[in-house]
Amino acid sequence: MFDAVSTLSMLALFLGLVLGYAAIRYKVEGNPLVDQIDAILPQTQCGQCDFPGCRPYAEAIASGEAEINQCPPGGQDGVDALAELLDVDTLPLNAEHGETKPKRIAVVDEEVCIGCTLCIQACPVDAFVGSSKVMTQVIASECTGCDLCLPVCPVDCIDMVEVKLTINTFVPNVLELANV
């Protein structure tokens, strides 16, 4: 019996040393899980998830404070991708946080704009070009469609315009291909 005990103890000690060494030698700085979650999130920075941006939300998911289904711009596909990453069951998108809308871009009505710069300050990705008392407009390629500029505009001159599909961006539906 003494043999068995000593053998197992030596084994445990040896494995413990190996694991300890590995933990120190291969330690990863920072939290890669947060980066991985952030890579899946759509970076709209809209705050519909109740966090001030996508990275804070990613950190909340990683620490367990938030559920994975709070992001409407990511859609159900985003929730599924997060579920797969974290190896948990997928959830339906939480409708309390908003609904998934097709991609939209903000456009300022140039006749009405008064140059108050409130929209410039509100935009989380600095997609506006303008200055005080100067007409302001959206840089279309930078706009994420987060809607945060809509409520702050005092003259309500910002419209959300849907991005139309073109021949170059069209994606056929894979499920319909076989039923030729």
Partner 1 sequence: MSKFFFKGGLVLENPFPAKEIDLIRIPLPDRVILPMQQRIGEQAKPCISVGDHVLTGQVIATIDDDRCAPVHASISGTVVAIDNQVMAHQSGLEALCVTIESDGEDEWMDNSVACTENYDFCTPDTIYNKIRTSGIVGMGGAGFPTHTKVQFAEGCHTLIVNATECEPGIMCDDALMQAYPTKVIRGIEVLLHICGAEKAIIAIEDDKKESIELLRKFCKNERITIEALPTKYTSGAEKILVKSLLGIEIPSGGYASDVGVLCQNVGTLVAIFDAVVENRPLISRVVTVTGSAVREPKNFQVRLGASYDYVLGFADIKEGDNNIRMAGMMMGVDLVGSDYSISKNTNCIFVNQVEEKIPAQECIRCGMCNTVCPVDLLPQQLYWYSKSSNIEKALDYNLMDCIECGCCSHVCPSKIPLVDYYQFAKALNRQQTKEKDLTDNARERFEFREFRLERNKKERGEMMEAKKKALKEKMAKDKVQKEAIAAAQERVALAKTAKESENAS
Binding-site ranges for partner 1 (CB under 8 A) = 38, 41-45, 53-55, 124-127, 141-142, 144, 165-172, 174, 177-180
**Nearest residue (CB) to partner 1, 2 versus 170:** 170
CA-CA-CA-CA torsion sign (92, 97, 99, 100)? negative
Rounded Cα distance, 167 and 84, in Å? 32
Instruction: Say which amino acid occupies 103.
Output: K
Helices 32-40 + 54-63 axis angle, to 10: 130
**Nearest residue (CB) to partner 1, 68 versus 127:** 127
**Nearest residue (CB) to partner 1, 132 versus 179:** 179
**Nearest distance in Å: CB 20, partner 1:** 36
**Nearest distance in Å: CB 43, partner 1:** 4
Residue with tokens 């930078």: 142
**Nearest residue (CB) to partner 1, 155 versus 165:** 165
Burial of 31-61, coded b for 16+ CB within 10 Å and e otherwise, reads eebbeebbebbbbbbbbbbebebbbbbbbbb
**Nearest distance in Å: CB 113, partner 1:** 21
**Nearest distance in Å: CB 105, partner 1:** 11
